Amino acid sequence: MMTYEDLLERVRAGETSVEDAAEELRTSSFANLGYANIDLDREGRTGQPEVIYGAGKTAEQICGIVSEMRRRGSAPVLITRLDAEKAAQVGQEHALDYRDDARLGIVGDLPAPDAQGKLLVITAGTSDIPVAEEAAVTAEFLGNEVERIYDVGVAGLHRLLARTDDIAAARVIVVVAGMEGALASVVGGLASCPVIAVPTSVGYGASLGGIAALLSMLNSCAAGVSVVNIDNGYGAACQASLINHL
- Looking at residues 71-96, what average pLDDT do you find? 92
Terminal Cα distance for the chain, rounded:
23
- Looking at residues 62-85, what average pLDDT do you find? 90
Number of domains the chain is built from: 2
Distance of CA 18 to the CA centre of its chain: 37
pLDDT tens for 9-27 read 888 888 888 887 776 666 6
pLDDT tens for 138-178 read 999 999 999 999 999 999 999 999 999 999 999 999 999 99
Q: What is the pLDDT of residue 26?
A: 65
Residue 165 lies inside a defined structural domain of this protein: yes
Residue 207 lies inside a defined structural domain of this protein: yes
Domain boundary among 107, 138, 171: 107
84 phi, psi to nearest 5 deg: -65, -35
Q: Are residues 126 and 194 in the same domain?
A: yes
Residue 234 lies inside a defined structural domain of this protein: yes
Supply the CATH number for residue 194's domain: 3.40.50.1970
pTM: 0.86
Q: Are residues 142 and 224 in the same domain?
A: yes
Q: Are residues 152 and 173 in the same domain?
A: yes
Q: Are residues 17 and 57 in the same domain?
A: yes
- Looking at residues 174-202, what average pLDDT do you find? 96
Q: Are residues 63 and 144 in the same domain?
A: no
Contact 118, 91 (CB under 8 A): no
Residue 26 lies inside a defined structural domain of this protein: yes
Q: Is the dihedral of CA 95, 100, 105, 110 positive or negative?
A: negative
Residue 130 lies inside a defined structural domain of this protein: yes
Q: Are residues 198 and 224 in the same domain?
A: yes
Residue 235 lies inside a defined structural domain of this protein: yes
Q: Are residues 72 and 138 in the same domain?
A: no
Would the pLDDT of 130 be above 80?
yes
Q: Which domain holds residue 225?
A: 118-244
Question: Between vectors from CA 195 to CA 194 and to CA 201, what angle results, nearest 5°?
Answer: 160
Contact 225, 197 (CB under 8 A): yes
Residue 113 lies inside a defined structural domain of this protein: no
239 phi, psi to nearest 5 deg: -65, -45
Q: Are residues 63 and 93 in the same domain?
A: yes
Residue 112 lies inside a defined structural domain of this protein: no
pLDDT tens for 234-243 read 999 999 999 9
Q: Are residues 94 and 203 in the same domain?
A: no
Q: How far apart are CA 130 and CA 136, in angstroms?
A: 10
Task: Quote the percentage of the chain above a pLDDT of 70.
Answer: 96
Q: Are residues 101 and 131 in the same domain?
A: no
Domain boundary among 76, 107, 138: 107
